[in-house]
Structure 1
Amino acid sequence: MRNRYLDLLRLLAIVRVVVYHVTGWASLTLLFPAMSVMFALAGSLMATSLLRSGPPAVGRRLRRLLPSLWVVAAIFVPAMLLTGLPLTPGVLLWLFPVADPPANYWGALALSPIWYLRDYLWFVLASPIAIWLFRRFPVPTLLAPYCLLLAIEMGIYPNAPVVLREFGLYFGAWLLGFAHQSGMLRRMTNRVLVPTVLVLAALGGAWILANPGPRGYDLNDNPLGNALWSAAFILVALGRAPASAQWVDRNALFGRIVTVFNRRALTVYLWHMAFVVLLTPLVDVVGWSHQDPLGLAIRVALVFLLVGLVTALVGWVEDVAAGRPPELIPGGRRTSGRTVDADRSAGPPSAEGPQRREEEVPGQRDPISAR
């Protein structure tokens, strides 16, 4: 049976990402470090798949990950080629993004969430070796990404490749997902867990306060602070996760919303930034300022509405990729009065996030990557 608590975390992460990208509120990254949570959830699911199926789980995970990207590429790549993107061999990276695929001036921002798939792909490929190491040397394996990131941030390893930087920043969260799956986090006593969380949060918070970025105290501008703060958050969120949360389904509508967002998490994530960019001109046309609560609320609602429409059109690709019968709105099939949830290892990608951290909010500052 699925743990609906994890499904709820994924829903909150996705909603937080979208709201952040519309509003640009840096405080949201501190309150809920969604990208790291998403990688932790994905790591837990990947560990389960590897322990059940072995290395073939890698192929199955990629099969679930890539088709939704190909749908996006089939629509946006021709549009970018017609508006100035050179046709080079690099365009093939839209089929298998082991590096950032090329984009033109408007596509770079609208499609900036692709960084998440790039990192996710690398983490999936590294997981068979990582889980072998984790099962034999759990603590050193968990610490390795954070030591790598510390070396990069302290200048010990300058000019590190982007892939290694991302391993340092987010692979630690992925490995904490391994620790969750193995029960390691759950077995931590409060005498160990609480001091560990407090130390990580204090170190991360102090580093963030001492090294504010261009957006202030935004985790996406501070890799080391991000990693430490997020680790503390994940230790609490997963270390004390309930075995289940069946109360989620007590309200049929809310339970259905949780199911829809989990089954369509990748589609929502890939498409939402394009609509954020599309709606940005409304700020000038209608006169909404970025501090206007009503204007922001309307923009958030419109983004979710547009994402809902495109999800209804192409979200079924996620069902096909997962080997499920395609559904227009997931969670509607019922057997013996109970919803059938065939997505045993769901999780897109399930959380926030541009090529460096979160997606820039158009019209507020210079674009950098989406996180």
Structure 2
Amino acid sequence: MRNRYLDLLRALAIVRVVVYHVTGWASLTLLFPAMSVMFALAGSLMAGSLLRSGPTAVGRRLRRLLPSLWVVAAIFVPAMLLTGLPFTPAVLLWLFPVADPPANYWGALALSPIWYLRDYLWFVLASPVALWLFRRFPLPTLLAPYCLLLVIEIGIYQDPPLVLREFGLYFGAWLLGFAHQSGMLRRMSVWVLGPTAFALAAVGGAWILTHQGPRGYDINDIPLGNALWSAAFILVALGRAPAAVAWVDRNALVGRAVTVLNRRALTVYLWHMAFVVALTPLVDVVGWSHQDLLGLAIRVVLVFLLVGLVTAVVGWVEDVAAQRPPELIPGGVRPSSRSTRRRARPHVGDDHDPSGGPASGGVPEQRGRGGGVIAR
């Protein structure tokens, strides 16, 4: 049985990311540090897969991750090659993005969410060793990414490679997912978890207040504050997770929306930024500034409608990658399943898991680094 609370968290994180990219509201990054939450959920799933299947779980996770990227690459890479992107061996990174794949002037922003897959790929490959270390030395392993980020941000380690900076920024959230899967967070007393989360939030908040970035208090520009603030959020969100959120499925529309967003998390994440960029000219044509709430609301709705359309067209790739029967809109009850259940339990209501099967890796904000494509 799936944990619908985790499904709800992931769905909210995906919606938050899309809304943030349309509106640019920095406050959203503080209210809900979506990318760290998504990495924590993915880390929890990865730990569970490794414990069940061993290192073969790495291959299965990559199988689920890459096909949706290949669909995007099949459409956008030829378009970029025709509009000025040089054809070099680096283009092959669109098949396996261990580094930022190349992009031209318009693709760099429209395809900027690729950074998430790059980090996800690194973290998946590192997980067998990380889980071995975590099970033997849990606290030192948890603290290691935060210590790495600290020595980078205070200048002890200057000009680190991108991979180390990203491990410092987000691998701590991934490891908190390990702690969630192992039950460590759930076993923490409220008298330990509460003060720990408060201390992390206080230190992270103070760092954010005193280290404003180019967009003010947008935590995507403040790595150490981001990591600490997000860790506090994850400790509370996962450490005191409710046993059930039955209300999610009491409303058919809400339950179906949560299911769809989870089953199509990668498709939504990879495609939404292209539509945000495509609709940006409306700001000049119609005069919708970021202070125009009605205009922003219309742009958010248009982006979700366009993402919904492309998801209906190519989202089934996520089903095939997960070895599920492809569906146009996930979460429906197949006739054969319904008739089988009726024969088996004729007097029992429809209590099936509406999003059955293993959860998909998720999903996160604009911050460019030279030569690559990045959005958070």
**Larger Rg over CA atoms:** 2
Shift of 1:346: 1.3
Gaps of 5+ in 1: 358-366
Gaps of 5+ in 2: 342-349
CA pair 112-83 structure 1, distance change in 2 beyond 3 A: same
Q: Residues 60-99 of structure 1 correspond to what in structure 2 (within 5 A)? A: 60-99=60-99
Q: TM-score, normalised by structure 2?
A: 0.94
Counterpart of 1:9 in structure 2: which amino acid? L
Does 2:54 correspond to 1:54? yes
Could you tell me how far apart the structure 2 residues matched to 1:232 and 1:260 are? Answer: 28
Does 2:374 correspond to 1:369? yes
Does 2:213 correspond to 1:213? yes
Q: Secondary structure at the match of 1:344?
A: coil
Conserved in 1, the CA contact under 8 Å of 2:219 and 2:225? yes
Q: TM-score, normalised by structure 1?
A: 0.95
CA pair 278-23 structure 1, distance change in 2 beyond 3 A: same
The one of 340, 353, 365 equivalent to 1:353 is 365
Correspondence for 1:344: 357
Counterpart of 1:217 in structure 2: which amino acid? Y
Conserved in 1, the CA contact under 8 Å of 2:93 and 2:99? yes
Could you tell me how far apart the structure 1 residues matched to 2:353 and 2:323 are? Answer: 14
Could you tell me how far apart the structure 1 residues matched to 2:355 and 2:290 are? Answer: 41
Could you tell me how far apart the structure 2 residues matched to 1:273 and 1:94 are? Answer: 17
C-alpha offsets along residues 47-68 of structure 1, whole Å, 9 cap, x if unaligned?
Answer: 0000000000000000000000
Could you tell me how far apart the structure 2 residues matched to 1:34 and 1:148 are? Answer: 22
Counterpart of 1:107 in structure 2: which amino acid? G
Could you tell me how far apart the structure 2 residues matched to 1:347 and 1:202 are? Answer: 33
Could you tell me how far apart the structure 1 residues matched to 2:67 and 2:366 are? Answer: 21
Q: Secondary structure at the match of 1:134?
A: helix
Correspondence for 2:345: none
Shift of 1:369: 3.2
Counterpart of 2:47 in structure 1: which amino acid? A
* Residues paired across the two proteins, number: 361
C-alpha offsets along residues 195-253 of structure 1, whole Å, 9 cap, x if unaligned?
Answer: 10111000000000000000000000000000000000000000000122222100111
Correspondence for 2:347: none
Conserved in 1, the CA contact under 8 Å of 2:69 and 2:270? yes
Q: Residues 233-244 of structure 1 correspond to what in structure 2 (within 5 A)? A: 233-244=233-244
CA pair 149-356 structure 1, distance change in 2 beyond 3 A: farther
CA pair 24-342 structure 1, distance change in 2 beyond 3 A: closer
Q: Secondary structure at the match of 2:360?
A: coil
Shift of 1:355: 4.8
Correspondence for 2:313: 313
Correspondence for 1:141: 141
Correspondence for 1:100: 100
C-alpha offsets along residues 265-288 of structure 1, whole Å, 9 cap, x if unaligned?
Answer: 000000000000000001111111
C-alpha offsets along residues 319-343 of structure 1, whole Å, 9 cap, x if unaligned?
Answer: 0000000000000125333455565
Shift of 1:179: 0.2
Q: Secondary structure at the match of 1:229?
A: helix
